[in-house]
Structure 1
Amino acid sequence: MFKVMIVDDNMTNLIMAKKVLEEIYEVVPVNAGKTALEFLRDMPDPPDIILLDIDMPDINGFYVLSEMRNDPRLADVRVIFLTAQDDPTTEVEGYYLGAVDYIKKPYTTALLRKRLDVHVQQIESERKLKRYNENLSNTLKEKVHNIVELEYALVEMFASLMAGRSHMIAGHCERVQKYMDIFMEDIMATGKYAIAESDKEKLVFASKLHDMGKLCMTDRCLADMGDLSLQEKEFNHAHTIIGAEACKKVTEAISKNAFFTYVYNLCRSHHERWDGKGYPDRLMTTDIPLEARILAIVNSYDNFRNHNDGADPLSHIEAVKRLSLWSGTHYDPDLVEIFVSGADKYEHAAD
């Protein structure tokens, strides 16, 4: 049942209005503006509508409404002014303060009832729309949650497959993900790149799949001790395309999905070089997707620190120096600068 407060210092009007409305509404009659404010502040649930007389001896209706609008609990309560005045200025002032309607005195009981019914119907419609929107929002949140769970499950599935295929590759991908998390924080802290927190989380998790194309490599290519033939090297390079094409099958099957777009770009372009001498597409500078330029640095850092293309692994300091040396040729110089400025964070991050 809707709750209606009637505020009027005229007892005859107050009694008449209460008698007409109490059959279908919960009616709260009040005979003074000051008392109305006290009731409103003490009520656990404010009324749905207030019929508010403007001309009252203690404080007028305008003051009551202005006080209500300053109270977050009462700011959205519908107020209908009751007035014997026939002055357009008064009406404009009421609407300016936030009144939703005016009923001029003297009024008939039929008019009062009908005007109130119209506003109650509007409130019902608004509440139905709000419930619908909340249900829709909850449904969307649930669907998004299910999609995120699926994305994470797919990542873990491929990570498990890579671990079964090569512990070396699986370990590399785990470490790269940790480095990526640190690097993304530092990149976002500069404010130079428009990366949302939600995108950062997707990128970090997607980085774990950058080498999934190596599932199709031979054992010798996976080991890559630096003694591969030219043909084997070409075949090894193909892991970027193999991983990207596998991901492309997913992106073609579902509508726009940022996560799998990131996976695709990371798989395909993490071996591109700033000077255009990388593979597979010989992209250069900012034609290389930002996420791939970011990954290229942490990917190389881990390679330098571990198998290093068959050579002796580099120390942390040596790896950072090589990244600096190759800045502007292999890597985006702005990103290298950010990495180097926070280089100490990476030395033991993957221990």
Structure 2
Amino acid sequence: MANLKILVADDEDSVRYSLKRLLKKWGYEIYEAQDGQEVINMILPSEPVQLMEKKIHVNFIILDLKMPGIDGFEVLEKISNTFIERKPYIIVLSGIEDKDSIVKALELGADDYMTKPFEIHELKARLKAAERHHALEIKDSFILMLSKMTEFKSFETGKHIERVQKFAVLLAKEYFHLIGKEPDISFLYELHHAAPLHDIGKLLIPEQILSKPGPLSANEFEIMKMHTVYGARMLSEISEETMSFEYFKTIHEVVLHHHERWDGKGYPEGLKEEQIPLSARIVSLCDTYDAITSKRVYKDAQSHEFAVNEILAGKGTQFDPEIVEAFENIQHLFKQLREKFTD
């Protein structure tokens, strides 16, 4: 993963030196500026033609307010008025402690405010919070973009994506209830974001295979199966460039493993039973239910009752037995959702 980049802007050499040593130790790539004009020269476009390109892309700025010439307030204002895309996360680090200045800095676009002298553990904690904000911002934009791309490219509709998402969260809640545990809110959150992206790898499958109005040949099916690998590879490459892999872990699990089977006869890795991540086991059943009850170019839609029987028949072979039990408990809710969110 590429190191996150921080611009340290302070007119005191000793402060910049101390921050640089700490931040390098914590794994960041550091840039320095001694005054506000230098910040502007480094990261803001100076010509109209440059509006789509920043001179240096930094993820975070640690900004002093009292600097010679252009001060930190003006820097904040210029950044807020100039950036046409995601701006850096800005932590003001200043000796100014009065409430009016703090409020002014935040209103002008600062994301956080610390006073000098600072505590090392506090700065580290605030930077970790900034990293989470940065990661979630990118992740949410990425999820929305890929969901829409999948919807437009695939023969499956946007309603399919939405239904699988709702089915998955519903089924996960019932699964936790079945095994006697409180729902894991963080897991439900990740699953909610992962489920719509289960088939993103189909973006790289030829259109003639996706929309073929009949059974696939053996060779075509092998190509189709690669959508799990392609999707996971896309996620890995993007996560390596933008943030630690942990932020895409559940999405990666769902994308790669939602065609695995409980008996080990699925793909792409032939995982079995609890080797298959829980998120993928849940999405697998939900995707199957919706595929059975939906019309496709190669088949007609089947009834809810038919889908339920098919899933029950796959208990312990295709599907996790406990997840099938959870599904059986709430299958009437699947039917209601299916009828509400029609194609």
* Residue pair 1:272, 1:280 contacting (<8 A) in 2 also: yes
Amino acid at match of 1:335: I
Aligned to 2:147: 159
AA partner of residue 149 (structure 2): L
Question: What does residue 318 of structure 2 align with?
Answer: 330
Partner of 2:217: 229
Aligned residue for 2:306?
A: 318
Give the corresponding residue for 1:263. Answer: 251
1:203 and 1:259 in contact (8 A); partners too: no
Largest Rg, 1 or 2: 1
Change in 2 beyond 3 A, CA 1:340/1:142: same
Higher mean alpha-carbon deviation, 193-202 vs 213-222, is at 193-202
Give the letter aligned to residue 236 of structure 1.
Answer: M
What is the TM-score when the length of structure 2 is the normalising length? 0.59
CA displacement, residues 63-114 of structure 1 (integer Å, 9 cap, x when unaligned): xxxxxxxxxxxxxxxxxxxxxxxxxxxxxxxxxxxxxxxxxxxxxxxxxxxx
* Mapped partners of 2:317, 2:179: distance in 1: 24
Give the partner amino acid of 1:154.
F
Where do 1:1-351 residues align within 5 Å?
137-166=125-154, 168-192=156-180, 196-253=184-241, 256-307=244-295, 310-350=298-338, 351=341
Structure 1 equivalent of residue 71 of structure 2: none
Aligned residue type for 1:322: E
Q: Alpha-carbon deviations, 1:112-138, whole Å to 9, x = none? A: xxxxxxxxxxxxxxxx99987666555
What number of residue pairs does the alignment pair up? 225
Task: Rate the CA distance shift 1:142–1:267 in 2: closer, same or farther, 3 A.
Answer: same
Say if 1:276 and 1:282, in contact at 8 Å, map to a contact too.
yes
Q: Deviations over 1:263-300 (max 9, x none)?
A: 11111111111111111111111111111111110010
Do the aligned partners of 2:236 and 2:245 also contact (CA within 8 Å) in 1? no
> Offset at 1:259?
3.6
Extract unaligned runs of 5+ from structure 1.
1-127
| CA gap 1:231/1:208 in 2 versus in 1, 3 angstroms | same
- Aligned residues of 2:198 and 2:258 also touching (Cα < 8 A): yes
Distance 1:146 1:317 in 2: 45
- Deviation digits for residues 313-350 of structure 1 (CA, Å, limit 9, x no counterpart): 12112211110011111101111001111111111324
Superposed CA RMSD: 2.7
Change (3 A) 1:298 1:242: same
Equivalent position amino acid for 2:261 in 1: R
Q: How far, CA to CA, are the matches of 2:301 and 2:260 in structure 1?
A: 22
Instruction: Say whether the 8 Å CA contact 2:177–2:183 is kept in structure 1.
Output: no
**In 2: Cα distance, 1:322 partner to 1:308 partner:** 18
Match of 2:61 in 1: none
Tell me, in whole angstroms, the C-alpha distance in 1 between the residues paired with 2:210 and 2:316. Answer: 28
Describe the shift of the 1:226–1:282 C-alpha distance in structure 2 as closer, same or farther (beyond 3 A).
farther
- Residue 247 of structure 1 deviates from its aligned partner by 1.2
Cα distance change, pair 131–188 in 1 and its aligned pair in 2 (3 A) = farther
SS of residue in 2 equivalent to 1:327:
coil
Structure with larger RCO (C-alpha < 8 A, sep 6+):
2
Distance in 1, matches of 2:279 and 2:300, equals 28
User: Partner of 1:54 in structure 2?
Assistant: none
Deviation at 1:241, TM superposition (A): 0.8
- Secondary structure of the equivalent of 1:271? coil
Give the Å deviation of 1:202. Answer: 1.0
Counterparts of 2:183 and 2:256, CA distance in 1: 20
The one-letter amino acid of 1:249's match is: E
User: Could you tell me whether the CA contact under 8 Å between 1:209 and 1:263 is conserved in 2?
Assistant: yes
